[in-house]
Amino acid sequence: MLPQVGKEFLVRIRSSCRPLFEGRYLLPTNILTGGVTLGLADILEQTRETHKEPDAVREWSRTGRMFVLGCAISPLIHYWYTWLDRFYVGKTLTIVGKKIMADQLIGTPVTGMCYFLGMSLIEGHTVSEGWEEYTNKFGEYYKMDWCVWPLAQMINFFFLSPKFRVLYINFVSLGWDTYFSYIKHRVSQFKV
C-alpha cells in the first residue's frame, strides 16, 4: 500500500497530465511523444551499435534527425487513428479486424514510406534515393510488421480510449522504432 502522501502525489500528477490528452492539447502531445519515442529508439539502437563495435561513435545529429522525423510523422498517425475511429465505429471483433486490416494494408506502407523518404530528405538525399531505399527494405520490415502490430493493434482497438491510441502506439513503437533505426542505418548505402 502506498502512504497517503504517495497517493496524493499520484493524484496530482494524473490531474495535471489529463489536459495533455484532451482537446487542443492532444495533437501536440502526440507529436512530442512521437518525436521523443523515435529519438529514444535511436539512442537505444546506437547504444547497441557502440556496444557491438566499441570504435563506433554516437551520432547525436542522427538522433536529432530521428526526433524531427518522429514529430513530422506524428500528425499523420494522429489523424489516421482519428479517421479509423470515425469510419469504423465500435469494438466488435469484426470492426476491430477491419481496423487492423486497414492499418496493416494502408497505414503501415504509408508510414514506412514517410519514414524512409523523410529520413532521406533530412539527411540531404533525394526523394528517388529514399524511394529506392524504401522499396529495397519494404519486404523485410513489412514481414516484421505483421509479427508485431496486429496483436498490438488488437489491444489498442479493443481496450483503449481513442485519446490514448497514439500514446500507446508510441510506447509499443519504442521497440519497433529501435528496429526501424537498425534497418535504416545498418550498412547503408546512404551515409551522412
116-139 burial, b if ≥16 CB within 10 A, otherwise e?
Answer: bbbbbbbbebeeebbebbbeebbe
Q: Which grid coordinates belong to 181?
A: 533505426
Residue-wise pLDDT tens digits, 50-77: 888 878 888 899 899 999 999 999 999 8
Domain boundaries along the sequence of the chain: 30-185
User: Is the pLDDT assigned to residue 188 strictly greater than 80?
Assistant: no
Instruction: Report pTM.
Output: 0.78
Residue-wise pLDDT tens digits, 2-46: 566 555 554 554 455 555 555 667 888 888 988 999 999 899 888
DSSP string, 50-102: HHH-TT----HHHHHHHHHHHHHHHHHHHHHHHHHHHHS-S-SHHHHHHHHHH
Residue-wise pLDDT tens digits, 148-164: 999 999 998 988 888 78
